[in-house]
Structure 1
Amino acid sequence: MTNTELKKVLVVEKVLDGHMTNEEGAALLGLSVRQVQRLKKRYQVGNAGGIAHGNRGRKPVHALSAEIKDRVAELYTQKYQGSNSCHFAELLAEHEGIELSGVSTRRILLTKGLKSAKQRRRSKVHQPRKRRSQVGMLWQIDATPYAWLEDRAPVFALHAAIDDATGIVTGAVFMPTECREGYSLVMMQGIKKQGIPLGLYSDRHTIFRSPNEKLTLEQQLAGMTKPLSHFGKAMHELGIEHIKAVTPQAKGRIERLWVTLQDRLVIELRLLGVSTIEEANKALPKLIAKHNKQFAVAPVSADSAYRKLGKDVRLEHVFTTREHRKLGTGRTLSYGGRIYTFAKAVPGHWDAKSVVEVRETLSGALLIWHNGEALMLKETTKAVRQAEKKPNKKAGIAQPRKPAADHPWKRTYQVHQKQIQNTTMQGRNQAT
């Protein structure tokens, strides 16, 4: 018997012996008088054993059978290994038809000696930032490399954006590495589905900020106060305020998203039999929709801050790389070591050596952006003039050159010979 039950036996015995009234016993046990009277009857029928709970030692009617416990443990080790207790319970209900709570699955796994693969550490206390009141006021964007397919494929990066007000993942895509293309695709997905957000929160990767410290002349004329990267120029064109966080905690909404997705997506992709990054991208939209349905919250305000995308705006012409080139005399320009010209006839006069903005889309197409209009380019070849080749003359034998009689070299030689002759004549005259 427990200490509480032993206390009840002692009090009931005193009441029955007349040493204590029912009211005093009820006050001492913290029960009502009627409950004390019932305890007296149970004691008179079964003595001290009547005070103990009647179901003690019996198996509860709703208790899980040993077969179910063994089945749950077997499924975890063979099929759902690595999932946390809550996710494991959801997978059992979805795929196996076994309805259990997260607490029950955790208790079964602990009983079988199976602990969660990821032990949670107590996080530091951090003051959470309030969510924005309306959808579309702020998106958070980031990427994380992870072994999403475990040992079935190399590590690759998941790019995603999340709405700060609701926690809805607005776009997601797998790419081999963290890159501008991945972030651009995520933004294009979200804008096409939801609309243009007012702000974007990111880290300080060079994809989001230009390493150059000086503004170009074109940027100064456009009213920019700081240099922008290719991605930053797209945000400027769409009118999205781009905020760059200094610490990861500042964009904690998407940092916590990675913890959830790394727990769940790995298991979901394994169950789908995904083994390549291409297959993962095909399965990703349904998995993200499932995540949003389960974890999204209602915004504080029912109003929306999204702006509609203009009918004349093509996002593939916005999320591009941008360079400036000079036109040649034949309306040609050089880009990437190749020569390009207009794909279609373009009206108007184009001066030679005029500076134009060349944009390269994610698909590799080139265009000139002129007055808010895209002028497509095509590759061409530059005409090369072939000069007439003259036969090379072979060098002949050089004719011997005899110095003239008055050549300085000869003059010196002649003077020297005369000196020798004079010396010789003087010697002969002295001898005679």
Structure 2
Amino acid sequence: MTRAEMKKVLVVEKIFGGQMTNSEGAAALGLTNRQVIRLKKQYDAEGAEGLTHKNRGRTPKHALSEAVKDQAAKLYTEKYHGSNNCHFAELLEEHEAVKLSSSSIRRILLAKDIKQVRKRRRSKAHQPRERKPQAGMLWQIDATPYAWLEDRAPVFALHAAIDDATGTVVGAVFRPNECREGYSLVMQQGIKMYGVPLGLYSDRHTIFRSPNEKLTVEQELAGETKPLSHFGKAMAELHIEHIKAITPQAKGRVERLWVTFQDRLVIELRLLGVKTLEEANEALPGLLQKHNRKFAVQPKMADSAYVKYDAHINLNHVFTIRKPRQLGHGNTLSHNGIIYTFAKPNAFRFDAKTTVEVRQTLSGDVLIWHNGHALPLKETEKPKRVTDTKKAMPAQPRKPADNHPWRNGWNQKQVKNTTKSTTVQAT
């Protein structure tokens, strides 16, 4: 008997013994007088056993069978290992047609002595910032390297952006490492699908800010503005307010997204049989839709803050590397050690030594950006110098003639030496 049942038996026995009244017994047990009278009848008819639970020792009708428990434990260890209880329940219903609650799964795994990997929680709590009221008011963007394909491929980085108001992942892409190209592709995905956001929250990586961001006192007095990175220039052109967080907690929405992705996305990619980075990028859009259906929320305000994307704006010409260059006399310029000229005639007139802005797209195309127009460039072929492949033969040594002026001094010296030696012999 449980402690509560033993207490009921003791109180009922005291009531029968005249030591307590029904009202006193009801107050001691926290019951009503009518409930105490029922307990007395059960005790009078069946004794102390009449106050015990009637289902004790019986298997409940809704209890899980041992076969189902063994199946769930086997599937977890062989196929779905690493998933948490909620995700495992979803995967069982989606792929195995087995519907179990997360609490049932927890009890099954504990009973089978299967331990789950638990994330270490932060020791210090951080108060989350309130969400923006409208979708499109703020995006948070970040990237993280991780073994997304476990031991099937090397570690690579996932770039993603999340809407602060709804929690919708607006774009994501896998790249070998954290890079400007990855962030640019994420922004292009989100802008084409949802629109241009009003603001963007990122960290202080040099991709987002120029290393020479600080201005001297003289530059500030001269009214100069802070230099922007290539990515920052793209944000300025799209009129997106770019905020650079000082701490990771400031952009906690995207930081918590990595916890969810590292917990769920790894298993989803494993179930799809993805083995390469290219295959992971092909499967990513469908996985993002699945994620958004489950985790996205409704904003406080139904009106969207997105600025409608103008299809006439070529985003490939916005997210570029930008450098100033000076045109030569033949409308040529040098970029990365290559000489370029205009690919086709244009309506603009450029004088020699005119400074222009050269842009290089993500695909490697090089163009001049002038008055809102993209002027494509092409490489020029350098003339090849013809070199003589014939090797000069070594000149034959020349021996001066006996009567050569060069020998006059030598001949006279020889005559003197000969005369002197003859005189000595005669003496």
TM-score range, shorter chain: 0.7 to 0.9
Matched residue, 1:212: 212
Q: C-alpha separation between the residues in 1 aligned to 2:397 and 2:327?
A: 49
Alignment partner of 2:369: what SS? strand
Matched residue, 1:303: 303
Alignment partner of 1:288: what SS? helix
Cα pair distance change 1:340/1:362, threshold 3 Å: same
The 8 Å contact of residues 366 and 376 in structure 1, kept in 2 or not, is answered as yes
Alignment partner of 1:287: what SS? helix
Counterparts of residues 25-64 of structure 1 (less than 5 Å): 25-64=25-64
Matched residue, 2:180: 180
Residue 29 of structure 2 aligns to which amino acid in structure 1?
A: L
Q: C-alpha separation between the residues in 2 aligned to 1:137 and 1:206?
A: 24
Q: C-alpha separation between the residues in 2 aligned to 1:314 and 1:395?
A: 71
Q: C-alpha separation between the residues in 2 aligned to 1:299 and 1:249?
A: 21
Aligned-pair identity in percent equals 68
Matched residue, 2:228: 228
Residue by residue over 1:334-390, the C-alpha shift from the partner in whole angstroms, topping out at 9 and shown as x without a partner, is 2122221111111232111111111010011111000011011112214568799xx
Matched residue, 2:196: 196
Is structure 2 residue 63 aligned with structure 1 residue 24? Answer: no
Matched residue, 1:14: 14
Is structure 2 residue 243 aligned with structure 1 residue 246? Answer: no
Matched residue, 2:102: 102
Cα pair distance change 1:214/1:123, threshold 3 Å: closer
The 8 Å contact of residues 322 and 357 in structure 1, kept in 2 or not, is answered as yes
Cα pair distance change 1:402/1:213, threshold 3 Å: farther
Residue 82 of structure 1 aligns to which amino acid in structure 2?
A: G
Q: C-alpha separation between the residues in 2 aligned to 1:213 and 1:31?
A: 74
Alignment partner of 1:103: what SS? helix
- Which shifted more, 117-126 or 225-234? 117-126
* Pairwise CA distance, 1:122: 5.1
Q: C-alpha separation between the residues in 2 aligned to 1:268 and 1:301?
A: 33
Is structure 2 residue 365 aligned with structure 1 residue 359? Answer: no
Q: C-alpha separation between the residues in 2 aligned to 1:122 and 1:150?
A: 25
Cα pair distance change 1:344/1:224, threshold 3 Å: farther
Matched residue, 1:114: 114
* Pairwise CA distance, 1:17: 3.2
The 8 Å contact of residues 5 and 52 in structure 1, kept in 2 or not, is answered as yes
Residue by residue over 1:136-168, the C-alpha shift from the partner in whole angstroms, topping out at 9 and shown as x without a partner, is 111110000000000000000000001111111
Cα pair distance change 1:119/1:372, threshold 3 Å: closer
Q: C-alpha separation between the residues in 2 aligned to 1:395 and 1:52?
A: 127
The 8 Å contact of residues 137 and 306 in structure 1, kept in 2 or not, is answered as yes
* Pairwise CA distance, 1:279: 0.3
Alignment partner of 2:280: what SS? helix
Residue by residue over 1:232-254, the C-alpha shift from the partner in whole angstroms, topping out at 9 and shown as x without a partner, is 11001111111111111111111
Matched residue, 1:339: 339
Is structure 2 residue 378 aligned with structure 1 residue 368? Answer: no
Cα pair distance change 1:122/1:313, threshold 3 Å: closer
The 8 Å contact of residues 317 and 359 in structure 2, kept in 1 or not, is answered as yes
Counterparts of residues 347-426 of structure 1 (less than 5 Å): 347-383=347-383
Residue by residue over 1:202-247, the C-alpha shift from the partner in whole angstroms, topping out at 9 and shown as x without a partner, is 11111111112478xxx99xx8620111101100111111111111
* Pairwise CA distance, 1:15: 2.1
Is structure 2 residue 269 aligned with structure 1 residue 269? Answer: yes
The 8 Å contact of residues 214 and 226 in structure 2, kept in 1 or not, is answered as yes
* Pairwise CA distance, 1:59: 1.3
Is structure 2 residue 145 aligned with structure 1 residue 145? Answer: yes
Alignment partner of 1:250: what SS? helix
Q: C-alpha separation between the residues in 1 aligned to 2:17 and 2:57?
A: 31
Q: C-alpha separation between the residues in 1 aligned to 2:377 and 2:79?
A: 53
Alignment partner of 2:290: what SS? helix
Q: C-alpha separation between the residues in 2 aligned to 1:383 and 1:352?
A: 22
* Pairwise CA distance, 1:115: 1.0
Matched residue, 1:315: 315
Cα pair distance change 1:338/1:400, threshold 3 Å: farther
The 8 Å contact of residues 213 and 228 in structure 2, kept in 1 or not, is answered as no
Q: C-alpha separation between the residues in 2 aligned to 1:213 and 1:262?
A: 34
Matched residue, 2:424: none
Residue 210 of structure 2 aligns to which amino acid in structure 1?
A: S
The 8 Å contact of residues 175 and 277 in structure 2, kept in 1 or not, is answered as yes
Q: C-alpha separation between the residues in 1 aligned to 2:66 and 2:200?
A: 52
- Which shifted more, 376-385 or 155-164? 376-385
* Pairwise CA distance, 1:127: 1.4
What is the root-mean-square deviation of aligned Cα atoms in Å?
2.5
Which has more radius of gyration? 1
Cα pair distance change 1:37/1:176, threshold 3 Å: same
The 8 Å contact of residues 82 and 118 in structure 1, kept in 2 or not, is answered as no
TM-score w.r.t. length of structure 2:
0.87
Query: Aligned pair count?
Result: 397
Matched residue, 2:134: 134
Matched residue, 1:290: 290
| Structure 2, unaligned runs of 5 or more | 409-427
